[in-house]
């Protein structure tokens, strides 16, 4: 299907019905109560990988901690990561912090209006730049997220693979035309809202859709087949062993990940990946020797849990350990970490941890309460 074949489908009547539907059905969201570009920017970054209902409490917490760009720019990286804790995809938090510093220094604390200037800021891609430009500043830039792609491909009957660049370009061209002459903020939000609440991935509520009368997928009974998205390759799985090393003062040893790696700046219990020829305990001893230069004694397995990242999955096995008694005093050294630190178990709550490690900290604090 080419763009010329789709042009007659969406007309001014469709736009009017869509905007009227949005006016009567839009959900309440804290950032929708504000025209503040800062709040809109933070919300859009959070919503990149997070559902609205999950994002709202994190948004409220973040905005309470950092009510302005200047507050965010002045904060430490650790404080920003701690306030982001639980949302995942921590590169978003680091990029937000970088952008806040640029906006505070170069734009007097106000986000730039122009799409191209927004696009040049860390962590702001085409979707986010279009969302900020349209919702905060009323500029005519159409957004394209997963909800928009699903709605447009069904409406236009596009059956090409949505992972393909050509298909996404076709959808973008279409919504660029649809938005012309309509209020950009309401139009973009209406289309995203329709995809999120009506034109859902499974069992869409076509009978309540304002665009159903002209929707090709609905009229041809293909809503369960469109959009077509090719399957992702199976994510690899890793077995991870970590040590919860406790000293005589009932302090635990934690390590901070280097800034340049995945989850950089966050804290974790030391350990690493199990090799194919190792048991989890053998891997633990090797990793601790490599990372800290010490020998440990394993007391017991504390917990085993599974966690999924975007590109791989893990089974995390955590063991309660102590320093192995030797003739000479053992001193851990940060060979693979930014830094290491002994902290009291109850103080673990003050450090930002990745989700899997956070689960361990909560269980540990409960056990040693």
At 259-277, the pLDDT tens digits run 888 899 999 999 999 999 9
Judgement on whether residues 42 and 183 belong to the same structural domain of the protein: yes
* 268 is an active site residue: no
User: How far is 214 from 226, CA to CA, in rounded Å?
Assistant: 15
Strand partners, 155: none
| Nearest residue to 296 via CA among 318, 265, 266 | 318
Residues 340, 334 contacting (CB under 8 angstroms): yes
pTM, full prediction: 0.84
Of 163, 190, 219, the residue at which a domain comes to its end is 219
Of 175, 193, 219, the residue at which a domain comes to its end is 219
User: How far is 72 from 68, CA to CA, in rounded Å?
Assistant: 6
Residue 2: is its pLDDT beyond 60? no
Cα atoms in the 13 Å half-sphere on the side-chain side of 37 = 22
Judgement on whether residues 19 and 144 belong to the same structural domain of the protein: yes
Determine the structural domain holding residue 246 and report its residue range: 237-367
Is 198 inside a domain boundary?
A: yes
Q: Which helix or strand (DSSP H or E) is residue 308 part of?
A: strand 296-308
Is 231 inside a domain boundary?
A: no
CA angle 43, 47, 49 (to 5 degrees): 150
What integer is the mean pLDDT of 192-215? 96
Is 226 inside a domain boundary?
A: no
- pLDDT (0 to 100) of residue 3: 54
What integer is the mean pLDDT of 332-351? 95
Is 281 inside a domain boundary?
A: yes
Strand partners, 111: none
- pLDDT (0 to 100) of residue 325: 85
Is 227 inside a domain boundary?
A: no
Would you place residue 218 in the very low, low, confident or very high pLDDT band (cuts 50, 70, 90)?
very high
Provide the 8-state DSSP code for 257.
P
| Nearest residue to 18 via CA among 266, 242, 193, 259 | 193
Is 319 inside a domain boundary?
A: yes
Judgement on whether residues 154 and 55 belong to the same structural domain of the protein: yes
Would you place residue 369 in the very low, low, confident or very high pLDDT band (cuts 50, 70, 90)?
confident
Of 219, 252, 283, the residue at which a domain comes to its end is 219
Judgement on whether residues 288 and 344 belong to the same structural domain of the protein: yes
Report the greatest alpha carbon distance in the chain: 84
Would you place residue 4 in the very low, low, confident or very high pLDDT band (cuts 50, 70, 90)?
low
User: How far is 184 from 143, CA to CA, in rounded Å?
Assistant: 10
CATH of the domain at 109: 1.10.340.30
Residue 60: is its pLDDT beyond 80? yes
User: How far is 183 from 188, CA to CA, in rounded Å?
Assistant: 9
User: How far is 164 from 216, CA to CA, in rounded Å?
Assistant: 21
Judgement on whether residues 215 and 326 belong to the same structural domain of the protein: no
Cβ count within 10 A of residue 107? 14
Would you place residue 232 in the very low, low, confident or very high pLDDT band (cuts 50, 70, 90)?
confident
Residues 286, 211 contacting (CB under 8 angstroms): no
CA angle 84, 337, 267 (to 5 degrees): 25
- pLDDT (0 to 100) of residue 267: 96
36-67 in b/e form (b: 16+ CB < 10 A) is ebbbbbbbbbbbeebebeebbebbeebbeebe
Would you place residue 322 in the very low, low, confident or very high pLDDT band (cuts 50, 70, 90)?
very high
| Nearest residue to 322 via CA among 292, 289, 299, 305 | 299
Residues 272, 348 contacting (CB under 8 angstroms): no
- pLDDT (0 to 100) of residue 327: 66
Judgement on whether residues 204 and 245 belong to the same structural domain of the protein: no
Judgement on whether residues 208 and 287 belong to the same structural domain of the protein: no
Is 201 inside a domain boundary?
A: yes
Helical segments of the chain, H only: 3-6, 12-25, 37-46, 52-65, 69-74, 77-84, 91-106, 115-119, 126-135, 146-156, 165-178, 184-197, 216-219, 280-292, 355-367
Residue 288: is its pLDDT beyond 60? yes
Judgement on whether residues 96 and 245 belong to the same structural domain of the protein: no
CATH of the domain at 289: 3.90.79.10
- pLDDT (0 to 100) of residue 7: 52
Provide the 8-state DSSP code for 354.
-
Is 333 inside a domain boundary?
A: yes
User: How far is 218 from 87, CA to CA, in rounded Å?
Assistant: 35
Q: Which of 44, 174, 193, 287 is catalytic?
A: 44
Q: How many domains does the chain have?
A: 2
Judgement on whether residues 159 and 307 belong to the same structural domain of the protein: no
Judgement on whether residues 168 and 57 belong to the same structural domain of the protein: yes
pLDDT digits (tens, 9 = 90+) for 149-174: 999 999 999 999 999 999 999 999 99
Judgement on whether residues 72 and 179 belong to the same structural domain of the protein: yes
Tokens of 74: 């002045």
Residues 285, 240 contacting (CB under 8 angstroms): no
Judgement on whether residues 193 and 249 belong to the same structural domain of the protein: no
């Amino acid at each position: 299907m080419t763009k010329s074949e789709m042009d007659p489908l969406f007309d001014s009547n469709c736009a009017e019905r869509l905007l009227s539907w949005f006016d009567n059905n839009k959900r309440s969201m804290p950032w929708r109560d504000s025209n503040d570009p800062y709040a809109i920017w933070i919300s859009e970054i959070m919503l990149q990988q997070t559902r609205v209902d999950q994002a709202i409490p994190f948004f409220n917490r973040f905005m309470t901690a950092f009510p302005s760009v200047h507050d965010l720019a002045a904060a430490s990286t650790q404080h920003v990561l701690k306030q982001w804790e639980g949302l995942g995809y921590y590169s978003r938090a680091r990029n937000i912090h970088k952008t806040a510093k640029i906006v505070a220094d170069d734009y007097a604390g106000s986000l730039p209006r122009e799409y191209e200037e927004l696009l040049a800021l860390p962590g702001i891609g085409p979707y986010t730049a279009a969302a900020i430009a349209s919702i905060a500043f009323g500029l005519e830039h159409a957004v394209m997220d997963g909800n928009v792609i699903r709605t447009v491909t069904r409406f236009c009957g596009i059956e090409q693979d949505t992972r393909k660049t050509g298909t996404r370009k076709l959808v973008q061209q279409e919504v660029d035309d649809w938005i012309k002459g309509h209020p950009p903020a309401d139009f973009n939000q209406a289309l995203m809202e329709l995809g999120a609440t009506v034109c859902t991935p499974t069992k869409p509520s076509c009978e309540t859709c304002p665009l159903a009368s002209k929707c090709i997928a609905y009229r041809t009974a293909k809503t369960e087949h469109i959009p077509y998205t090719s399957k992702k390759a199976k994510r690899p799985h890793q077995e991870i062993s970590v040590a919860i090393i406790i000293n005589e003062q009932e302090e635990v040893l934690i390590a901070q990940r280097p800034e340049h790696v995945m989850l950089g700046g966050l804290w974790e219990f030391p350990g690493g990946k199990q090799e194919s020829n190792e048991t989890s305990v053998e891997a633990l001893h090797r990793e601790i020797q490599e990372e800290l230069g010490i020998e440990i004694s394993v007391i017991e397995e504390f917990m085993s849990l599974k966690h999924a990242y975007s590109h791989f999955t893990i089974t995390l096995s955590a063991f309660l350990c102590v320093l192995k008694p030797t003739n000479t005093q053992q001193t851990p050294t940060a060979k693979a970490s930014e830094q290491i630190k002994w902290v009291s178990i109850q103080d673990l709550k003050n450090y930002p941890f990745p989700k899997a490690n956070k689960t361990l900290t909560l269980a540990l604090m409960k056990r040693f309460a």
